[in-house]
Chains A and B, each alone.
Chain A
Amino acid sequence: MERWQPSAEILALRSDHQASRPALGAERAIHYTQFWKRESTNLQPCLLNARALADHLARRTIRIHPGELIVGTHTEHRVGAICHIEKAGWAMLEDLRRFETRPINPIRVDPQAKRTLTRTVVPYWLNKNLAMRAFPLREKVRYVKDQLGAVDHVVNEVGGVAHFLPDYARLINTGTEGLRAKVEQRRAGPGLTDENRDYLDASLVCLDAIDDFGDRYRREAERMGRHDLVEVLQQVPRRPARNLHEALQLIWFFQLLIQIESLDQGVSLGRIDQYLHPFYSVESSSPDFDRGRVGDLFAAFCIKLSEIVPLFSSRVTTYFAGLPSGQAASIGGVDERGHDATNELTFLLLDVIDSFKTRQPNWHARVGAASDPEYVRRVVEVVASGGGSPAIYNDDVIPKAMAERGVDASKVWNYATVGCVEPALPGESFTSSDAAIFNLAFSLELVLGGGHALTSRSAARRPWLADISSTADLMRRIEEVTARRLSELKHSLDAVELSGATHFPTPLSSLTIGGCIENATDSTRGGAIHNASGIQAVGVADLADSVAAIDKLVFRDGTCTLAEMADACATNFRGDDLLLARARKTAKFGNDDPQVDRIAAQLVEMFDRCVSAHTNTRGGRWMPGFYSMTCHHGFGRKMAAMPSGRLAGRPLADGLAPVDGADHLGPTASLNSVTSLDHGRFGNGVNVNIKFDSATVGDDSGRMALEALIRGYFAQGGMQLQINVLDTDLLESAMRDPDSHRNLLVRVSGYCAYFVDLTPEMQQEMIDRTRQHA
């Protein structure tokens, strides 16, 4: 079949989209504040949040842009960063004075809005935002201090939860009407508490608000004479979609509304080539089927998804650079009987990924032994063309890992991914898969510093080190410290979860998650069928390398004592070049070295043990994951030097990958170290990012090698792989001249970003790492 290519119209639409610079979506913050001031004392929490949302949606500025095929924006701007003022949006406004002038990810702010935010909105929420309501006064101070420039962990749930797979497979066939019938039936049923009733009433308010919002766009389309759109908007979101266009419009409405209500992170699309295939198959059998136009529709959908830009302050950007929003879309995989499920739509979507590169969605391809070889070949071809998409997921490992973590084994074949990398069952899971990111490497610094950062004065004399006389002792200490830190994290996270559930439930989002209506309970309060929380470890490789270095230099060779090593780390090896050189010469994770790999495996097991001991407030388990967003930069910046020879302030390793530059035997050795770890444990997913220079893998033998690399890695139990094929010359010119390279996409830890949106440190990391593998 001929490859799809974007039409001139859709390319023009993308240019218009890219020409719109992100602007602060202040209306939500302003409307919510006005509503809260008026009504917060009169309404139950679910109803309060639903009514505030409805009020905002009724008043929000709306616009349909020329040439749009799918309509609706999540803010009053075309490309917007929404401010969830009652949650983390409040803290992000620390950048209010410099959003426009900051060098990385500038955001336009309307002067009038800026004034209102400063004078009335920010002061109002000072003590009412989610984080501030979570803690008693004394803890509040500690919490704020910890999270400003975090080194220990980042609690993501202060922003809300999101991170789930709305039940789009069902929604496209019910519309809001179907949901309304279900809610009303439940509302009429027996055994409801006041809280249940509050939730169900709120659900009905949300359904009306969705319909009204759709009607506003329909009227706007009528006014503009866009009859094609009017026809679509007469049907959805109320009624079931009748074709692909209506289905995509309906999904987009929910997608944007969920992100207005809850949080613009990790709201994921699920197996889009599967649940939309019935529509595709009907349309493609019609004589006037226009495949080009269907491709254009999906391209228009990708543009919509890319309109969502997170509102991050500069401080937070270090941890989450590249404007991630984590709207994952899965393709490929198997059906209920375990047979390959790829279809014509899968291939069309691969054409879209190949020829129409956009920042979102976060494309994920499921690949396994059952996959159609032609599909795998095409996936590799698309990956090799650059842009970092799709990331590839192992169908022969992930379902098993999920079943081991208590997910219904009869359903795991149907998994999709959430956010960056996290597997979950579509439509029924509320996994909070990005609940927190935890700096595992920091445990060693705390062991060496006796509970303090190594650079703090309290850690200057270190009598406690005398008790550590073997690597086994050291590992025990690391586990004690890790367990203690995770208990502290649990304390904070519980407080944040409860604060969210109490004050800011999300009834609209909950409508799309199986179990909430049946249980008459909001998703933030445990209404979903399947609950969990994902806790990510960062710095596994650095920690393994450091333990290996101590094992060799302190306990085996006696080159230095542990106290001397701690001193060297505290002073950033100043004046001890020889020890630094020796530290660097010790074996590193990523080179097939059985000893270091074993240490890494022990650390991963240890982290799993410590994490899995906990449950969340929604009745779900904690699940370990290994991905870092760009927290490996954020955390690394605040850390002292490490015994591995990593200097102070340097980034930690990305995700589960070896330390940059430490793996000098090539990609197979690097991946062998990664697969020496038991991926069955990684219930919340991993990210393994490898980079190639386009000169190395651009030809046929290069593509063959990439495919074989993926297959070999998967055969050994690897869970996920994302491959960046980069042209270093191009990256360098993009650093010099960002304006001419706005379209250059690269894959960061778990998501794609425009290269020019990254921090200079991240940009340099990309270039160096690609060179190293050339």
Chain B
Amino acid sequence: MTAPTAPVFDIQRFSIHDGPGIRSLVFLKGCGLNCPWCQNPESQSARPVIGFHRSRCMESFECESVCPNKAIVRGGQRVDHDLCSRCCKCVEVCPTEALQLIGETIGPRDLLDRLLVDRAYYDSSGGGVTFTGGEPTLHAAFLTRALELCAEAGIHTNIETAGKFAWPDLEPALRLADLIYFDLKILDPDAHHQVLGHDLGGILDNARRLADGGFPVEFRMPAVPGYTDTIPNIDAVAAFLHSIGRRELHLLAYHNMGEAKIEVISGDQPRLGLPCYPDDSIRDLRRGFENRGIATI
């Protein structure tokens, strides 16, 4: 059997807000949901892609001469993704890192080696590794193996998920993780379907199973103006948490830094044009949850 691989689009080190201690965040590419506010638009498709940073380009066009597939176009977004085979020849010759591979396909062992460089800092801080994305659960076999390797190495692990996964595929991974961050978004089934393009039911079932099964799960909600912070949604999230015996919620304030990345991948995600979530609205939101018996973190 060949070792499972997955497209990793970034490893962000010295992160101090995604689980305990100093952590490395492993961003896996690909996501089953379609949140319009997605802050990592480059993570939505599981397919690796050659990203193009226009502002860095010196127009030397050496990429053009090395590309075996005539996928470099002078106008527009530089790379014709349909012709591109992601051989990365252009990335190598590009003098400035204007062209970049987003989503390097690697195996769990290779990933572990890259994570171990910060071992001393995980140990000194009680930190570890957080698998995020995209949706890390899309890569069940890879994730399971990576978590096993981390466990063998004694590294604390955390999975961040939006909850859309098939339980039997993921159960081994969920049992290995030391912590699971589960994002609740829009809890009205119709609105969920309409905004995110998928059914809510499976997600809530998974959330309930994790809570009931004694998994180390904590719930979070992205605070996105007009989407998740409406009164009915606050009601629904609070009611759901109560129904599974939970009284705590992490709030994640929306920021709009992801929108600049859309162009890099020639993405077609519409821009929301929303401002970052203001501090005083977050305070109001916290109060809203607290009034409903839910403490916020």
Contact = CB atoms under 8 A, between A and B. Distances in A.
A705 B13 contact: no
Given A582-B95, A585-B95, A666 B13 contact: yes
Query: Could you say which of B12, B14, B22, B125 has the most chain A C-beta atoms within 10 Å of its C-beta?
Result: B14
A669 B125 contact: no
Contact of B120 (A592, A666, A702, A712): A712
A668 B16 contact: no
Contacts of A578: 58, 60, 95
B124 A581 contact: no
A774 to B, nearest CB: 13
A235 B17 CA distance: 57
A667 B14 contact: yes
A701 B17 contact: yes
B117 interface: yes
Given A578-B60, A672-B117, 4 more contacts: A668-B22, A669-B117, A709-B14, A712-B118
Question: Chain A contact residues: over half helix, strand or loop, or mixed?
Answer: helix
Interface of B: 12-14, 16-17, 21-22, 58, 60, 95-97, 117-118, 120-121, 123-127
Q: Is the interface of B mostly helix, strand, loop or mixed?
A: loop
A264 B248 CA distance: 59
A560 interface: no
Given A666-B14, A672-B117, A704 B58 contact: no
Contact of B58 (A581, A666, A707): A581
Nearest to A710: B124
A592 B123 CA distance: 18
A194 interface: no
Nearest to A580: B95
A705 B120 contact: no
Interface string A588-601: 00001000000000
A708 B13 CA distance: 14
A665 interface: yes
A45 B50 CA distance: 75
Interface string A687-709: 00000000000000110110111
A705 B14 contact: yes
- Which of B12, B118, B121, B123 counts the most A-chain CB atoms under 10 A from its CB? B121
Contacts, number: 67
Contacts of B12: 666
A694 to B, nearest CB: 14
Nearest to A718: B120
Contacts of B121: 668, 708-709, 712
Contacts of A701: 16-17
A584 B120 CA distance: 29
Contacts of A762: none
Contacts of A704: 16, 21, 125
Contacts of B21: 704-705, 708
> Which of A667, A702, A705, A707 is packed against the most chain B CB atoms within 10 Å?
A705
Contact of A708 (B17, B58, B96, B127): B127
18 contacts: A578-B60, A585-B97, A666-B14, A668-B121, A669-B117, A702-B16, A704-B21, A705-B16, A708-B21, A708-B124, A708-B126, A709-B14, A711-B125, A712-B120, A712-B123, A712-B124, A712-B125, A715-B124
Contacts of A708: 21-22, 121, 124-127
B16 A716 contact: no
B21 to A, nearest CB: 6
Q: Which 7 A-B pairs have the closest CB atoms?
A: A708-B125, A711-B124, A581-B95, A712-B124, A712-B121, A666-B14, A712-B120
A578 B118 CA distance: 34
A716 B124 CA distance: 11
B125 A668 contact: no
B22 A709 contact: yes
A592 B22 CA distance: 17
A577 interface: yes
B188 to A, nearest CB: 33
B13 A669 contact: yes
B22 A712 contact: yes
Contacts of A702: 16
Contacts of B96: 581, 584-585
Contacts of A668: 13-14, 22, 117-118, 121
A706 to B, nearest CB: 10
B104 to A, nearest CB: 15
Nearest to B15: A666
A711 B118 CA distance: 12
Contacts of B16: 701-702, 704-705
Interface in A377-434: none
Contact of A665 (B13, B22, B58, B127): B13
A724 B222 CA distance: 32
